[in-house]
Structure 1
Amino acid sequence: MNAHPHRHDHHAIGEVAGVVVPDSHLARQITELVRDTEDDLLYHHSRRVFFFAALTGDGKALKYDPELLYAAAMFHDMGLVPAYSSKDKRFEVDGANLARDFLRRHGVAEDDIYTVWTSIALHTTPNIPEFMKPEVALLTAGVEMDVLGMGFRNVADADRLEVARRHPREPDFKEGIIDHFYQGIRNKPETTFGNVKADVMAYKEPKTFQRMDFCRLILGNPWPR
């Protein structure tokens, strides 16, 4: 798939459903990097995640930094892209590390960088981010809304549909995102231990994928009892 069919759209969609994309130099640089790196499916997904995260935050009257939330949303799946995928780390960590390095080069404060890093690293770990800083909680909320259809009640239907219209889910986001996950982790299946991506491997390789088992690890470790 051609990743750059609409180069001019870097700044074409600056506001959706009342949510404004931060118009800073940093945000523009992030948009250009991600648009030039990810294919359409991941790019539109990442933008939807930002808008859903921001709408959720606004609906709950949470105070968050839009620029940090935008950075987290746009980088959150970059670890699935071959150019930024490590051989041995979870894809979430690869994306978090890329965001950290990018933000450091742009002089962002370390505390803010840590917030973005944590947001990305934990975005597939359910039931923990919601109790953390708003940016961390909201990134996961945005991802869960777009991928899992969770939290619809937190965003007006018209706003949610407007985001999906401006950043479309066609032709088939559901199967497409599963395939993107699979392509990003298939060469390092051990990184799926204890997280939801093991389900992706089992779905794509039902006959060959062997899950690591927590209890077997306990019972088979070097301790005598």
Structure 2
Amino acid sequence: MTEDKAVPTNGMLGIVIPDSQLAREATQLIRDTESELLFNHSTRVYLWGALLGKQQNLVFDPELLYIAAMFHDIGLTSVFRESHLRFEVDGANAARDFLRSHHIDEADVPKVWTAVALHTTPGIPEHMHGEIALVQAGAGMDVAGRGFEEFTDEQRAAVIEAYPRGPDFASKMIDAFYDGMKHRPGTTFGTFNDDFLAHKDPGFVRVNVCSIMLNSSWAESSRR
């Protein structure tokens, strides 16, 4: 059975962070791998997601949500500097391998994999399992303030007190995204992740799907 520990937020949240052995080992792995910036961000993603899940009466497993939140940005770290997969897929694969190494029910593994893989893909996760919807919602809240008004002043203050954003959070997160993807720019095609490269690198050229279509082999064959 999963044990839980209260979040040190003066009792204002009414939620807990899972304290099972699985959750503790995930926490330690992420602490050892990620910067404090990303670790605190990942924990806040869980807290925002769990709060929304409670408010909206969504069905979700707090432990699975926590694992997905912990792993959702690990693909941005130096561990994956040689990877040419999307960073979201690196994180999803890492979460999957972690769960399988702990012999978690195989039926639960795809929920976590998909939650991590789709956390930068708005418009789809909200129609899926609670864990998938809530990781995406929590990440959007923490990075861009999406859904900001759905939380009370007290809730926002409690989360930030427990896991601070720190000064210049937005700029530091942009740097983290850029550092995690600058070696694999092609993986940003079709996502908003190319915004990070364009913001940091004046020489970055976005791929335009219309140009691809107009210059594809199909277009060329129609001219013959």
Same fold (TM over 0.5): yes
The answer on whether the counterparts of 1:130 and 1:136 sit within 8 Å (CA) in structure 2 is yes
Query: What secondary structure does 1:110 align onto?
Result: coil
Structure 1 counterpart of 2:180, one-letter code: G
The separation in 2 between residues aligned to 1:193 and 1:179, in whole angstroms, is 19
Query: What secondary structure does 1:107 align onto?
Result: coil
Bigger Cα Rg: 2
- Would you say 1:27 and 2:34 are equivalent positions? no
**Counterparts of residues 104-123 of structure 1 (less than 5 Å):** 104-123=100-119
The answer on whether the counterparts of 1:80 and 1:181 sit within 8 Å (CA) in structure 2 is yes
Query: What secondary structure does 1:21 align onto?
Result: strand
Q: Deviations over 1:31-86 (max 9, x none)?
A: 01001111110000000000000001101111110000000000000000111345
Cα 1:136/1:86, change in 2 over 3 Å:
farther
Structure 1 unaligned blocks of 5 or more: 1-10
Q: What do you get for the CA RMSD once the two structures are aligned?
A: 1.5
Of 199, 209, 212, the match for 1:214: 209
Query: How far is 1:172 from its partner?
Result: 1.4
The answer on whether the counterparts of 1:59 and 1:154 sit within 8 Å (CA) in structure 2 is no
Alignment correspondent of 1:8? none
The separation in 1 between residues aligned to 2:216 and 2:105, in whole angstroms, is 42
Task: Report the number of matched residues.
Answer: 214
Identity of aligned residues (%): 50
Structure 2 counterpart of 1:133, one-letter code: H
Q: TM-score, normalised by structure 2?
A: 0.91
- List structure 1 runs of 4+ shifted beyond 6 angstroms: none
Structure 2 unaligned blocks of 5 or more: none
Query: What secondary structure does 1:52 align onto?
Result: helix
Cα 1:195/1:121, change in 2 over 3 Å:
same
Of 139, 143, 157, the match for 1:143: 139
The separation in 1 between residues aligned to 2:98 and 2:56, in whole angstroms, is 30
